[in-house]
Chains A and B, each alone.
Chain A
Amino acid sequence: MSKVFDGLTVIELADRRNQMVGKIMSDAGARVIQIEPTRGSPGRWVGPYLNDVQDPNKSLDYWWYNTGKESVALDITRLPGQQMLRRLIEQADVFVESTKPGTLAKYGLDYASVAPSNSKLIYASLSDFGQDGPWAQLEMNDPAHLALGGQMGVGGYSDPKETPIGGQGRQAYNAASVITTHSISIALWDRMTTDLGQYIDVAIHDCCAICTERPVSYWMWYNQPSVRQTGQHAGPVYALPIQVQAADGRYMNARFNFPNNVWPKMVEWLKELDVVGDLTSEKWNDPPTRAEAAKVGGEIEVALKALLAKVPAQEAFERAQSMGLTWGVIRAPEENLDISHFKERNFWRDIEHEDIGKTLPYPRGFYFSEGLDVSPDGRAPHLGEHTKAILTEKLGMDAAQVDMLVQTGVVR
């Protein structure tokens, strides 16, 4: 079955910010050609590496974000490199870049310079702050975005003296990449009717700033500042902790509110483990009494902590869910590999790494859908793996011309 972006050519100017955009588009069928500096994309210089040996072809982080792409190593700071990239963009459907505003204008590669020779081009800039504004030139990385954009300010521990915490895994770049790919999809939709491309300007900071849910709402509409709280939503007031340690040391996410149909089952479970205390007394059959306890703690909190201290997390998860409780285990990512549910959903896709003689299971991607098969299409490219082939195919160069460019260091 064909994929939604089959037939499209995407030129991606290598950067850690935008590589998820090209990955999604490649997974969805586009031909994605990544233009890298001759020393390799910045994404290649991020670990972890295979066997912890630093090698631009063995960054596992790069492997993940660049499945199915082709690599052209090309120095765009030099005039011949700029000319070649311009010609590649002229033939492309989509160009994705993440340079600081003004950088590509110096090379004659900004939208205004390239659009006249390709009216169908969709030119997407995914940058730290967008193309304009007082902070447009600040130096940033992903955690800096979580700090300035608001994620860090609402995440962390309930101690007001403790540092705010930003999560790992480049989630600012990932979220902004999803918005960018959505914007490209809208532009492609429009192009199906109009035959015209356009310019897209997405700022990672803007995306982060609309992504923190309630705390902005509390401040914007009710002038209520929020507090960070361990393992749960920031909010105007401290709430009862919902993160509880189970017998195997793992933490559960367990809220202490129990609907009427669940409460007797909960009492039964507490009895079985001899931690029921006085929760069998009549007053606890009253929902408002239980609801109040869910806010302030007390006997229910004590009993549940005692219960979970006796039950391993997985067992508690299954039993709680079977009773109708919305509890979960705070798992390390790799602990999902053993859960049959994801295998049943064909979530792990074998990607062959013939260069190291191994096949590795990669996450399938966001969606389980036969008709919209967005899943990895082969391993990430080696540095410059496709340089010669693409310069020949797309720019009509012969072997001697490419060799000359290699010798002069313009391509690799």
Chain B
Amino acid sequence: MTSTSNIPKGPLNGIRIIDFTWKAVGPWSSRMLTPYGAEVIHIEPPHEPDDHRWDIRPAVGPNFDIQAKHNDHLFGNGADYYSAPYYSQLHNGKLSASLNARSPRGKELLEELIKKSDAVVENFSARVLGNWGLSWERLHELNPKLVYLSTSGFGHEGSLSHYRTYGPIVQAESGLTFTSGLPGREPAGWGYSHMDIAGGWIGGLGLIMALMQARKTGVGTHVDYAVTEGAMTLLGPYFLDYHANGRPTRRPGFPPGNHSEWPGVAPHNTYRCAGIDRQGQDWWVFIACETQEQFEAFANAIGKPELLADPKFGTMAARKANEAELDEIISTWTAPRRRYEIQDQLQAVGVIAVAVQGPEDRVDYDPQLRHRNVYPLIQNPEVGEYEIEGFVPKLSRTPPDNTLRATAVRENEQYVFGDLLGLSESEMATLRSEGVI
């Protein structure tokens, strides 16, 4: 295999990105460009491969201790760290090289690489690149066209910039966690790091916009992306309500669970259905009637047309005022029924009704996701094929390549240090022995 065989033809051919990302939010930002042909060189410290190469691992069972053994059926048996499937999602299509940027020679090599690149992306804590001697000023001096995307919890400027975060802390601090929960109960949160995934997409958007700006103006820029601010930007109306109306979100009744405050719609909730999942959790269906027509169709479909003439439920305002009683009526109807049957029956008459799907439902059943090939199979040369979560937009002229994989540790070292930087095999051997690469 040639060292750059992973790069598909695409509109971003010729764009080179130096990628120091890890965990999830950083990797996503550059991972969104590889399907379009960007050359993203993911750099890991020598002897310390990215921890997602062995994560996600089984949480229970005989393979729990996989980090030490690397003998899982999806990892392969090799010492090459071909990587866990999750790494193939986060670093999909990237090239791999290792470099100790803290060593003088490593820094020299990195600076040479930066001169030949279009962007540097990283999501270390705020001081790391500066500690390497690679402040924005230095990066800009090395390469005036360079784009620098730094992703961190609180950003690189400001009095909280040195505070530590990970996805859940960003969500907590921004207010995003607070918006999810039942009224009067402790916050429920999101159940996953929304700001690691959607937050990573926001970083990716900033990266392509900054690259375009550099292409237009010839001058690169530093995008200081604080993920906490990213999350606050997703909560805009709450800030305006506070300023314009003086209404805080920390008030009785907020968050409203799965009810809808604005617009004031009822019914609008989850309702328990027949059956439980493999973990013993009840199955649920989400139902909403946003219009009078939908409620009329709904009342008829559940065999309760009398609700339409009932002063407690005849209008949207009345339904909202008597929401708890309406929820009880609906729950009685849904309880013995299957969630997908409810979805089919109510959707057939134009009512918003969908199963609350778990991971198994999406991966193994959801006919729409199958039709759209949202979980494509990819090839791993070591262990064969496996599914990953693909990159989902469809572009008619420049479709993203959804067949890419991640690379093994150091797989592209010859390309990066030999072809790009012109080092000989013996020079590379020396650097290896010195722990620089």
Check if A and B associate: yes
Interface of A is mostly: mixed
Q: For B279, what are the chain A residues with a Cβ–Cβ distance below 8 Å? A: 160, 225-227
A133-B368 contact in complex given A64-B237, A215-B192, C-beta closer than 8 Å: yes
Find out whether the CB atom of A154 lies under 8 angstroms from the CB atom of B173. no
Find out whether the CB atom of A179 lies under 8 angstroms from the CB atom of B201. yes
Which A241-256 residues have C-beta < 8 A from chain B? 242-243, 245, 251-253
Per-residue CB contact flags for chain B residues 154-184 toward chain A (1 = under 8 Å, else 0) read 1101111101111011101111111111100
* Residue from A168, A190, A214, A347 whose CB has the most chain B CB atoms within 10 Å: A168
A332-B258 contact in complex given A326-B165, A369-B222, C-beta closer than 8 Å: no
Question: Roughly how many angstroms separate A132 CA and B369 CA in the complex, as a whole number?
Answer: 11
* Residue from B209, B230, B235 whose CB has the most chain A CB atoms within 10 Å: B209
Question: Roughly how many angstroms separate A186 CA and B397 CA in the complex, as a whole number?
Answer: 11
Quick check: is B79 within 8 A (CB to CB) of the other chain?
Answer: no
Find out whether the CB atom of A130 lies under 8 angstroms from the CB atom of B372. yes
Find out whether the CB atom of A341 lies under 8 angstroms from the CB atom of B160. yes
A163-B398 contact in complex given A185-B209, A227-B279, C-beta closer than 8 Å: no
Question: Roughly how many angstroms separate A147 CA and B153 CA in the complex, as a whole number?
Answer: 28
A328-B224 contact in complex given A4-B213, A360-B243, C-beta closer than 8 Å: no
Among A164, A190, A211, A229, point to the contact of B398 (Cβ < 8 A).
Answer: A190
Among A147, A171, A228, point to the contact of B270 (Cβ < 8 A).
Answer: A147
Per-residue CB contact flags for chain A residues 290-302 toward chain B (1 = under 8 Å, else 0) read 0000000000000
> Residue on A with the closest CB to B238?
A333
Find out whether the CB atom of B234 lies under 8 angstroms from the CB atom of A198. no
A335-B397 contact in complex given A347-B232, A369-B224, C-beta closer than 8 Å: no
Quick check: is B363 within 8 A (CB to CB) of the other chain?
Answer: yes
A210-B242 contact in complex given A218-B359, A233-B191, C-beta closer than 8 Å: no
Find out whether the CB atom of B221 lies under 8 angstroms from the CB atom of A371. yes
Question: Roughly how many angstroms separate A3 CA and B369 CA in the complex, as a whole number?
Answer: 37
Find out whether the CB atom of B205 lies under 8 angstroms from the CB atom of A182. yes
Question: Roughly how many angstroms separate A193 CA and B15 CA in the complex, as a whole number?
Answer: 14
Find out whether the CB atom of B236 lies under 8 angstroms from the CB atom of A363. yes
Per-residue CB contact flags for chain A residues 180-206 toward chain B (1 = under 8 Å, else 0) read 111101111110111011111111011
Q: For A61, what are the chain B residues with a Cβ–Cβ distance below 8 Å? A: 237, 262
Find out whether the CB atom of B367 lies under 8 angstroms from the CB atom of A174. no
Among B155, B232, B358, point to the contact of A336 (Cβ < 8 A).
Answer: B232
Q: For A65, what are the chain B residues with a Cβ–Cβ distance below 8 Å? A: 236-237
Stretch at the interface among A41-49, A79-87, A89-97: A41-49
Find out whether the CB atom of B395 lies under 8 angstroms from the CB atom of A200. yes
Q: How large is the interface on A (under 10, 10 to 19, 20 to 34, 35 or more residues)?
A: 35 or more
Quick check: is B197 within 8 A (CB to CB) of the other chain?
Answer: yes
Quick check: is A345 within 8 A (CB to CB) of the other chain?
Answer: yes
Find out whether the CB atom of B397 lies under 8 angstroms from the CB atom of A165. no
Stretch at the interface among A31-39, A136-144, A267-275, A392-400: A136-144
Question: Roughly how many angstroms separate A166 CA and B157 CA in the complex, as a whole number?
Answer: 33
Q: For B204, what are the chain A residues with a Cβ–Cβ distance below 8 Å? A: 182
Q: For B241, what are the chain A residues with a Cβ–Cβ distance below 8 Å? A: 48, 60
Q: For B288, what are the chain A residues with a Cβ–Cβ distance below 8 Å? A: 141, 143-144
Question: Roughly how many angstroms separate A192 CA and B11 CA in the complex, as a whole number?
Answer: 10
A169-B193 contact in complex given A135-B368, A253-B172, A321-B164, C-beta closer than 8 Å: no
Stretch at the interface among B96-104, B127-135, B249-257: B249-257
Q: For B190, what are the chain A residues with a Cβ–Cβ distance below 8 Å? A: 151, 154-155, 167
Which B242-294 residues have C-beta < 8 A from chain A? 242-245, 247-250, 255-258, 260-264, 268, 270, 272, 276-282, 284-286, 288, 290, 294
Quick check: is B360 within 8 A (CB to CB) of the other chain?
Answer: yes
Find out whether the CB atom of B178 lies under 8 angstroms from the CB atom of A330. yes
Q: How many residues of B contact A (CB 8 A)?
A: 157
Find out whether the CB atom of A366 lies under 8 angstroms from the CB atom of B233. yes
Find out whether the CB atom of A342 lies under 8 angstroms from the CB atom of B58. no
> Residue on A with the closest CB to B227?
A366
Stretch at the interface among B105-113, B345-353, B415-423, B424-432: B345-353
Quick check: is B32 within 8 A (CB to CB) of the other chain?
Answer: yes
Quick check: is B301 within 8 A (CB to CB) of the other chain?
Answer: no
Find out whether the CB atom of B362 lies under 8 angstroms from the CB atom of A150. yes
Which B53-81 residues have C-beta < 8 A from chain A? 56, 58-61, 63, 74
Stretch at the interface among B43-51, B383-391, B405-413: B383-391
Among B59, B187, B223, B352, point to the contact of A144 (Cβ < 8 A).
Answer: B352
Quick check: is A236 within 8 A (CB to CB) of the other chain?
Answer: yes
Among A45, A138, A182, point to the contact of B32 (Cβ < 8 A).
Answer: A182
> Residue on A with the closest CB to B278?
A225
Question: Roughly how many angstroms separate A369 CA and B357 CA in the complex, as a whole number?
Answer: 39
> Residue on B with the closest CB to A193?
B11
Find out whether the CB atom of B188 lies under 8 angstroms from the CB atom of A221. no
Question: Roughly how many angstroms separate A135 CA and B245 CA in the complex, as a whole number?
Answer: 40
Q: For B225, what are the chain A residues with a Cβ–Cβ distance below 8 Å? A: 366-368
Question: Roughly how many angstroms separate A130 CA and B351 CA in the complex, as a whole number?
Answer: 19
A155-B189 contact in complex given A4-B216, A333-B179, A369-B224, C-beta closer than 8 Å: yes
Question: Roughly how many angstroms separate A63 CA and B255 CA in the complex, as a whole number?
Answer: 21
Question: Roughly how many angstroms separate A235 CA and B64 CA in the complex, as a whole number?
Answer: 14
A215-B359 contact in complex given A46-B262, A371-B219, C-beta closer than 8 Å: yes
> Residue on B with the closest CB to A60?
B240
Quick check: is B326 within 8 A (CB to CB) of the other chain?
Answer: no
Per-residue CB contact flags for chain B residues 1-36 toward chain A (1 = under 8 Å, else 0) read 000000000011000000000001000000010001
Which A304-343 residues have C-beta < 8 A from chain B? 321, 324-337, 339-342
Q: For A363, what are the chain B residues with a Cβ–Cβ distance below 8 Å? A: 229, 232-233, 235-236, 239
Quick check: is A161 within 8 A (CB to CB) of the other chain?
Answer: yes
Question: Roughly how many angstroms separate A214 CA and B24 CA in the complex, as a whole number?
Answer: 11
Q: For B359, what are the chain A residues with a Cβ–Cβ distance below 8 Å? A: 150, 153-154, 212, 215-216, 218-220, 225-226
Question: Roughly how many angstroms separate A363 CA and B204 CA in the complex, as a whole number?
Answer: 20
Among B220, B230, B242, point to the contact of A337 (Cβ < 8 A).
Answer: B242
Among A152, A186, A339, point to the contact of B11 (Cβ < 8 A).
Answer: A186
Find out whether the CB atom of B234 lies under 8 angstroms from the CB atom of A334. no
> Residue on B with the closest CB to A225?
B278
Q: For A362, what are the chain B residues with a Cβ–Cβ distance below 8 Å? A: 236, 239-240
* Residue from A51, A169, A243 whose CB has the most chain B CB atoms within 10 Å: A169
Among B177, B243, B372, point to the contact of A203 (Cβ < 8 A).
Answer: B372
A59 to B: closest C-beta gap in Å:
9
A164-B284 contact in complex given A179-B201, A330-B187, C-beta closer than 8 Å: yes
Among A155, A199, A203, A332, point to the contact of B191 (Cβ < 8 A).
Answer: A155
Q: For B191, what are the chain A residues with a Cβ–Cβ distance below 8 Å? A: 151, 154-156, 212, 215, 228-229, 232-234
Q: List 15 A-B contacts (CB under 8 A).
A: A136-B368, A141-B288, A155-B191, A165-B180, A178-B198, A199-B396, A202-B392, A210-B374, A211-B197, A225-B277, A226-B358, A233-B193, A330-B187, A336-B175, A372-B209
In the A-B complex, the 3 residue pairs with the smallest Cβ-Cβ separation, listed nearest first, are: A371-B221, A333-B175, A155-B191
A interface, CB within 8 angstroms of B? 2, 4, 24, 28, 45-48, 50-52, 60-61, 63-65, 129-130, 132-136, 138-141, 143-144, 147-157, 160-161, 163-169, 171, 174-175, 178-183, 185-190, 192-194, 196-203, 205-207, 209-222, 224-237, 242-243, 245, 251-253, 321, 324-337, 339-342, 344-345, 347, 358, 360-372, 374
17 new A-B contacts at CB < 8 Å, known A4-B216, A148-B286:
A64-B240, A134-B368, A143-B258, A151-B194, A167-B180, A169-B238, A174-B198, A209-B362, A331-B172, A332-B248, A332-B249, A333-B178, A337-B239, A345-B229, A363-B233, A366-B206, A372-B213
